[in-house]
Amino acid sequence: MGEKEIIRVEHLDKTYQTRAGPFPVLKDVSMNVLQGEFVAIMGPSGSGKSTFMNVLGCLDPPTAGLYALDGRNVGELSSDERAALRNRTIGFVFQGFNLLSRMNLLDNVALPLVYAGVTRAERRARAHEVLQRVGLADHAQSLPSEISGGEQQRVAIARALVTHPRLILADEPTGNLDSKTGAGIMTLFEELHREQITILVVTHDAGVAAHALRLVRFLDGRIVEDKRTRQEQPA
Ligand X SMILES: Nc1ncnc2c1ncn2[C@@H]1O[C@H](COP(=O)(O)OP(=O)(O)OP(=O)(O)O)[C@@H](O)[C@H]1O
Please tell me whether residue 203 binds ligand X under the rule CB under 6 A: no
In the complex, minimum distance from the CB of residue 78 to ligand X, in angstroms, rounded to a whole number: 23
Q: Which residues pair with 134 in a beta bridge?
A: none
Residue 79, SS3? helix
Q: Contact letters (x/-) for Mg ion, 4-43, by CB under 5 A? A: ----------------------------------------
Residue 33: DSSP 8-state: E
Q: Binding residue for ligand X (CB under 6 A) from 9, 25, 160, 162?
A: 25
The piece of 13-21, 49-57, 87-95, 214-222 that touches Mg ion (CB under 5 A) is 49-57
Contact 126, 162 (CB under 8 A): yes
Phi-psi region of 217 (alpha: psi -120 to 50; beta: other; left: phi over 0): beta
With respect to ligand X, which residue has the nearer C-beta, 25 or 162?
Answer: 25
The piece of 38-46, 110-118, 132-140, 178-186 that touches ligand X (CB under 6 A) is 38-46
Q: Binding residue for Mg ion (CB under 5 A) from 33, 48, 50, 52?
A: 50
With respect to ligand X, which residue has the nearer C-beta, 25 or 29?
Answer: 25
DSSP string, 168-228: EEEESTTTTS-HHHHHHHHHHHHHHHHTT-EEEEE-S-HHHHTTSSEEEEEETTEEEEEEE
Half-sphere exposure of 106 (CA within 13 A, CB side): 15
Q: Binding residue for ligand X (CB under 6 A) from 51, 152, 174, 198?
A: 51
Residues at the contact surface with ligand X, assessed by CB under 6 A: 16, 18, 23, 25, 43, 45-51
